[in-house]
């Protein structure tokens, strides 16, 4: 279903070796070790827990317009799941903001998407609109809990802005 390819700028990448529908787990990763802190290769599991996972999960590129999402799995790591149909030969990628609250992984993004944000941007660094879009596609349990527990001003409903202000006071 998937294989390893090589990209001039990104190095090793993961490619679809056949057409894959949306909603398919293409990789179920396992924990390879704990990272002392966030780095280019770690995936965030909790506020202060950063994992190294096995390959090919470790290799998935960042894209600002991803065809995969992450889903916490039974091994304490992540499954990677298609969020739209992909064609044979397509590069498989997820938005690093689906797992990372802040991202240090990609300083200059070359995803080529019209939505490109220029680098890999962590979830907490995204706009409300971008956060909502990633939540719709799927984010880690850790980020979903953070997202659902964080009051946000909603401009269309003034009282919610007021409620958010009161929480801060
Ligand atoms: Zn990009």
Q: How many domains does one find in the chain?
A: 1
Q: How far is the CA of 97 from the centre of ligand 1 (A)?
A: 12
What is the per-residue pLDDT across 56-76, written as a single tens digit (0 to 9) for each?
A: 999 999 999 999 999 999 999
We report the CATH number of the domain holding residue 83 as: 2.170.270.10
Q: How far is the CA of 106 from the centre of ligand 1 (A)?
A: 9
Domain extent, residue 148, equals 2-168
User: Residue 78's closest CA among 27, 123, 121?
Assistant: 27
Q: How far is the CA of 126 from the centre of ligand 1 (A)?
A: 13
What is the per-residue pLDDT across 105-157, written as a single tens digit (0 to 9) for each?
A: 999 999 999 999 999 999 999 999 999 999 999 999 999 999 998 776 555 54
pTM over 0.85: yes
What is the per-residue pLDDT across 68-117, written as a single tens digit (0 to 9) for each?
A: 999 999 999 999 999 999 999 999 999 999 999 999 999 999 999 999 99
Please report, for residues 6, 33, 50, the alpha-carbon distance to residue 126 in angstroms, rounded to integers and kept in the order given: 29, 28, 20
Q: How far is the CA of 66 from the centre of ligand 1 (A)?
A: 9
């Amino acid at each position: 279903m998937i294989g390893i390819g090589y990209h001039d700028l990104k190095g090793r990448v993961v490619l679809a070796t056949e057409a894959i529908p949306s909603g398919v787990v293409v990789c179920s990763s396992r924990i390879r070790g704990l990272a002392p802190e966030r780095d280019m290769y770690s995936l965030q599991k909790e506020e202060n827990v950063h994992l190294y996972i096995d390959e090919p999960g470790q290799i998935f590129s960042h894209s600002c317009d991803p065809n995969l999402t992450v889903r916490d799995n039974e091994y304490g790591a992540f499954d990677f799941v298609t969020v739209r149909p992909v064609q044979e030969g397509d590069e498989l990628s997820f938005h690093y903001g689906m797992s990372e609250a802040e991202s240090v992984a990609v300083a200059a993004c070359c995803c080529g998407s019209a939505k490109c944000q220029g680098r890999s941007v962590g979830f907490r660094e995204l706009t409300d609109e971008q956060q909502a879009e990633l939540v719709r596609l799927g984010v880690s349990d850790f980020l979903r809990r953070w997202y659902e527990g964080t009051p946000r001003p909603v401009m269309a409903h003034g009282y919610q802005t007021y409620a958010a202000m009161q929480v801060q006071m």
